[in-house]
Amino acid sequence: MTSLQLTKKQGLQLVSIAAIAFFVCTLTLTLHRHFSFYSSYDQGIFNQVFWNGTHGRFFQSSLSSQLSTNVVHSGEVPDVSYHRLGQHFTPALLFWLPIYYLFPHPATLTVLQAIFVTSAGLVLYALARVYLEPAIALLISISFYGANAVLGPTLANFHDISQIPLFVFSLLLAMEKRCWWLFWLLVICILAVREDSGITLFGIGVYLVASRRYPRIGLIVCSLSFLYLIAVTNLIMPLFSDDISKRFMLERFGQYADGDEASTIDIIWGMLKNPWRLVVELFTPFWGTFKYLLGQWLPLAFIPVVSPASWVISGFPLLKLLLGQGKTVLAISLRYAMSITPGLFYGVILWWAGQRFGSFNRKLSDGKPKKLHPKFRKFWIFCICLSLFFTITSNPSRTLYFLIPDSVQPWVYVSLPQQWQRTPQIRSLLNKIPNDASVSATTYLIPHLSGRREVLRLPQLQIKNDQSQIENVDYIIADLWQLQRYQIAFKTERYFIGSIIPLIEKITSQGDYGITDFNNGIILLQKGVISDLTAMENWQEFKRLSLEN
């Protein structure tokens, strides 16, 4: 059997076509998701962070404040001057602030995310071409674009981890080309993405040491990434808030801690002194863990299983997920899964280049590169298609809500004409809210209102302003139709509609707010005004029908 042959020019043409197709499809779907009011809370948080940044209030967010331990656990009022750096240390966002300054809109972040991931696939192709023939390099790049762990998070809200594949692949390419000034620059960029991105970098350092390729550089990378993680989480982030020790560490790794707060050092020590719990957490839930690993390996035709570099590099960010708790850690369509992919794909490149478990410490030039045979090529393409199928049918972040029902039993489905008919109705009410007014809104309306200083999620109404005064928001807007439609199958929507309807009844009966408009399940209230008679009648009719259903 012979290997499939492609010329250098053909390989570049085909990977360019794949990149364009990925970019157009993901950008179209995510922009459609946003403009049809399906982008949600995190999109609003990042947009408000960027918006505040363009006004000199770097990393401040009232939406992030609403999730802080001071609000969630201590019952304080969300503060407009709250710094999100206490929750996640993300200085790399400043790289993109000039672009947002030119195009200050939530959709700008969606475009940036599609650019990050598409560019990562092209850099991956260049990285693969260092060792491999165009045909194999092409399939590796297409595998990246078809991976559930890549495509799912790309179709979601904007998130900081979307920068990781681009930075890591670029760092590895700089290493292969021995461009060390760029390598160290990208080390800084990766550390700046998030407080925990040093874990991915630590895996790269361990690989450089274990493979004996660049042991001294590997030791420096390991030391730098570990010290950065410890310093940022224990010294820098606590300067902004107590969230890292009182909320995030406990929510994700509280099983290893005692008491009401824990630092990263406390968690690491708790793991070391209780190795049995560590083993149990690593393999449970067994089926969930196994299914998650299969999902990560599938688009690469399961080659990472036999690639030592894949295990070494991706093993550390993978351990972070497997040793944690919560429903999101093993969700392959969520952003956390994207941090695993760079190590898997680089390990596959090295496997094709001839690196095996038995020859892990040898020079790559001494290995015997494998050939791509037609049968395995067909199997690999089948695996990519299967990964795409699972991604589509999972309806990541409800991006494909108009194609895939959100629930079958009970049936929950919103058609494309139905949602686009509601879109101008929603937008007409949003346009009635002044740009400088404070507002509280339901989840899917927040991104469209987040380019302002004071914005909250319902049912929260009070906010601490720049004068440190606690006031009720000026406007309230809620998409009750959406909550009513989804609450029969989802407890989150059930909680919100169960909280918001009584709240509206209370504040309108007390005269604190008046209903100024009500259109097809979307309600707009303003502080200190008398309710519009027609709007009040429509609200009462909606409430009556809701109780009957």
Tokens of 277: 């719990």
Work out the average pLDDT over 312-337. Answer: 89
This prediction's pTM: 0.94
**Do the beta carbons of residue 283 and residue 293 sit within 8 Å?**
no
- Whether residue 253 is predicted with pLDDT greater than 90 in this model: the reply is no
In the chain, the amino acid numbered 463 is I
User: What is the per-residue pLDDT for 355?
Assistant: 82
Segment 8-38, tens digit of pLDDT: 899 999 999 999 999 999 999 999 999 999 9
The helix or strand, by DSSP H or E, that contains position 535, with its residue range, turns out to be helix 533-548
Alpha carbons 45 and 61: distance in angstroms, whole number = 7
Residue-wise DSSP of 63-128 = HHHHTSHHHHTT-PPPBTT-BGGGT---GGGGGGHHHHHHS-SHHHHHHHHHHHHHHHHHHHHHHH
Mean pLDDT across 308-330: 89
Alpha carbon 52 to its chain centroid, in Å, reads 21
**pLDDT band at residue 286 using 50, 70 and 90 as cut-offs:** confident
**What are 490's two structure tokens?**
């989802």
257 pLDDT above the threshold of 90: no
Lowest pLDDT segment from 96-105, 360-369, 404-413: 360-369
Separation CA 105–CA 302 (nearest Å):
40
The predicted pLDDT at position 547 comes to 63
What is the DSSP secondary-structure string of 509-521? HTTSEEEEEEETT
For tokens 């390989």, name the residue.
11
pLDDT confidence of 432, banded at 50, 70, 90?
very high
> For the chain, what percent of residues have pLDDT higher than 90?
80
- H or E element in which residue 249 lies: helix 249-253
Q: How high is the pLDDT of residue 249?
A: 85
Residue 527's nearest CA partner among 454, 469, 471 is: 471
Ordered DSSP codes for 426-471: HHHHHTTS-TTS-EEE-GGGHHHH-SSS-EEETT--EEE-TTS-EE
Alpha helices in 273-415 (DSSP H): 275-283, 286-297, 308-322, 341-352, 374-393
What pLDDT is attached to residue 2? 42
Which tens digit of pLDDT belongs to each residue from 211-226? 999 999 999 999 999 9
pLDDT-derived band of residue 457, with 50, 70 and 90 as boundaries?
Answer: very high
Residue 117 has pLDDT above 60, yes or no: yes
Arithmetic mean of pLDDT, 197-204: 95
Structural tokens at position 15? 């990977």
Q: What pLDDT does residue 468 have?
A: 92
pLDDT digits (tens, 9 = 90+) for 261-283: 888 888 888 888 888 888 888 88
Does the structure show a pLDDT above 60 at 1? no
Sign of the CA dihedral 79, 83, 85, 88? Answer: positive
Q: Give 372-394 pLDDT, tens digit per residue.
A: 899 999 999 999 999 999 999 99
Angstrom distance (rounded) from CA 231 to CA 186 = 19
What does the pLDDT read at residue 4?
66
Mean pLDDT in residue range 320-344: 90
DSSP 343-370: HHHHHHHHHHTT--GGGTTS-GGGS-PP
Report the amino acid identity of residue 253: F
pLDDT given at position 255: 84
Which element (helix H / strand E) includes 169?
helix 164-176
- Which structure tokens are listed for 269? 């020590």
Average pLDDT over all residues of the chain: 93
Query: Does residue 41 surpass a pLDDT of 80?
Result: yes
Range of weakest confidence among 2-11, 63-72, 217-226, 462-471: 2-11
The confidence score (pLDDT) of residue 324 equals: 85
* pLDDT cut 70: percent of the chain above it: 98
Which residues share a beta bridge with 522? 479, 519
For 511: left if phi > 0, alpha if psi spans -120 to 50, otherwise beta; the answer is left
